Amino acid sequence: DAGITQSPRHKVTETGTPVTLRCHQTENHRYMYWYRQDPGHGLRLIHYSYGVKDTDKGEVSDGYSVSRSKTEDFLLTLESATSSQTSVYFCAISPPSENEQFFGPGTRLTVL
Amino acid sequence: AQTVTQSQPEMSVQEAETVTLSCTYDTSESDYYLFWYKQPPSRQMILVIRQEAYKQQNATENRFSVNFQKAAKSFSLKISDSQLGDAAMYFCAYRSFQGAQKLVFGQGTRLTINP
């Protein structure tokens, strides 16, 4: 196993509430990513991090923010959740010596 | 920006038969990586096979092989001797050779195996 966990695994929330998803790795890798998965779209990159306090936007970053204060944790925040953010969210890590990404188990988020 | 297209939303195959999933991509880069990921009902993303663009030889992993056509920007996945456990969503993905190692995914193909 790649040593990557996500919490919570499932969450139901209401429109307008803040939500934070956590990604935790035990591998000490530099790169971490947040993707969302929606039918017909595959996985799309939201934000990524290339080190502590170093983050950048992905393809679908509007409405999301991230933080990385420790190497092992990468947080995704929805400041004010909307129904369009109902999705499955995946975190991934990328070991420098391997040409692939390892994915967490995913978080299913429902915004009512 | 790079794009990846999977034009087959759903495919089905008889158990023990061979099936090919299609993927095309668009890029102006000459060096890159291509991947096929499998997502079973458990939702876990599992790497099936990868191809480095600078390698002319098609990658093979047991029953899984690719047909990489660089000039045509095509990257199809062939599954031989299909098994019930192969039933899943399959995603094609692209990664630039350098930079932040971000993945660009296709829309996915749902593969059903008929017993």
* pLDDT at residue number A1: 56
Residues of chain A in contact with residue B54, where contact means CB-CB under 8 angstroms, are none
- The string of DSSP letters for A88-106 reads EEEEEEE-TTSSS-EE---
pLDDT tens digit sequence for A21-45: 999 999 889 999 999 999 989 999 9
Which of A84, A86, A111 is CA-nearest to residue A17? A111
For A83, left (φ over 0), alpha (ψ -120 to 50), or beta?
alpha
pLDDT given at position A46:
98
Q: Which residues touch B18 (CB under 8 Å, ≥6 apart)?
A: B78, B79, B80, B81, B82
CA distance B9 to chain A (A): 8
List, for residues B67-112, the tens digit of each pLDDT value. Answer: 999 999 999 999 999 999 999 999 999 999 888 889 999 999 999 9
The pLDDT > 70 percentage for chain B reads 100
* Cβ of residue B91 closer than 8 Å to a chain A Cβ: yes
Nearest to A5 by CA among A107, A76, A88, A97: A107
- Report which DSSP code applies to A85: G
Q: Does A41 touch chain B (CB under 8 A)?
A: yes
CA atoms within 13 A on the CB side of A102: 20
- pLDDT for the residue A99: 74
Most A CBs within 10 Å: which of B45, B91, B104, B107, as the mutation test of the A interface?
B45
What's the CA gap between A104 and B54, in Å, rounded? 29
What integer is the mean pLDDT of B37-45? Answer: 95
Q: Is B53 on the interface with A (CB under 8 A)?
A: no
Give the pLDDT of residue B56: 85
Q: What is the dihedral of CA A58, A95, B39, B61, to 10 degrees?
A: 130
Half-sphere exposure of residue A14: CA atoms within 13 angstroms, side-chain side: 0
Asked if the C-beta of B21 comes within 8 angstroms of chain A's C-beta atoms, the answer is no
- Cβ-based neighbours of A6, under 8 Å, separated by 6 or more: A21, A22, A23, A24, A89, A90, A91, A104, A105, A106, A107
